[in-house]
Chains A and B, each alone.
Chain A
Amino acid sequence: MAEVPMRPAAFRPRIRYEGWVSIAGLAIAWQVTSLFFPHFLFPTLADIARHFIAIFTTWDAIDDALETSARILAGLVGAFVFGSTLGFLMGRSEAFARYAYPLLNFNQGIPALSWVVISIIWFKGIEFRIFFIMVMTTLPAFSFQVLDSYRSMSKDLLEMTLSFRPSRYDLIRMLVVPTVLPGVLTAWKVNLGNAARVVVVAELVGATGGIGYALLQQQQIFDMAGAIAWTLVLVIFVLVVQRAISMIEAWLLRYRPAAERTV
């Protein structure tokens, strides 16, 4: 019996040199531009680097960066828990989905800034305000991904599993979780970028610490190098977490075959 020729591994994330070339190109273009514009508009790379290093050598600045990172992760975990539960319940009950789906769609139309204003009016605690904003803005993606994955669950696999008469817990563990897992991981990746943007807005308006607050300070003293350095910190955080998710994804979805040719 012929075996299917396989590539050694699927979903193995690699850092390719093309990405570094693009970033180097952007840096060079910035540096060249800085030669022709005032430094308060386009600071030199050296100036940005100085600010960047200062962030990682000052405890207060590190604390701000960690604070924002923790808020992003807490918000995403909260959105994941509530959103996945909602998606799962909608998948289980068509009647529930008919009520919940329009609400999620309605929520999609509410801008992040509106949630910022609402949370400032509603809640007193800063951390809860930010958590609430994060959950409300990133929850729908988790719900929709889980619902979509749940609905696309293979009827054949469901019948096969049911034929062994599993308990509800076993059915969820053996079939539902592995089925929705790729969708959940995708939602995490998509939401991470959104969460990073939203948290900065939330901190900018309603916090006394974190990267958003630091950015507000840079704006007030008109320090472009500082603003870019703080932005880079956020970008690096997102890239590191993206990489971690990709590695988890590569391990969890290692069963997936990869075709020799791509579409």
Chain B
Amino acid sequence: MFQERTKLAKDRNPEDFLPLTPAMFHILLALADQDRHGYEIMREVDERTQGKVRLGPGTLYGSIKRMLGDELIEELDERPDPEIDDERRRYYRLSGFGRRVAVAEAERLAGLVKVARTKKLLAGHRLTDARA
């Protein structure tokens, strides 16, 4: 069963999942470096974006539901630190396929930034133009 699922994940093309919704991409970014529970994901996104992106409970768990369904993330059976943590919390981890999708989305966005740079739409270019 596990082998079948792994094989299915391998067969899937990350490009088919693009573009990701901003909420989904932020969740993947939050899980890229460590496993987290819902509130931790929310706090990480909030801090990383200096409060510009705030995931509400509905957006967060709606996205988590879809990402679990698409096997971009997986729910952990064990909590990383059971002694200090609330046992009602659920922890999530980026799956191998989820990481590939996150990389593909990051590359897609990087491509867009490159286009914006050539069109001189980035702040750095505007400053350069103003000085000139």
Partners in one complex: no
Interface residues of B (CB under 8 A from A): none
Interface residues of A (CB under 8 A from B): none
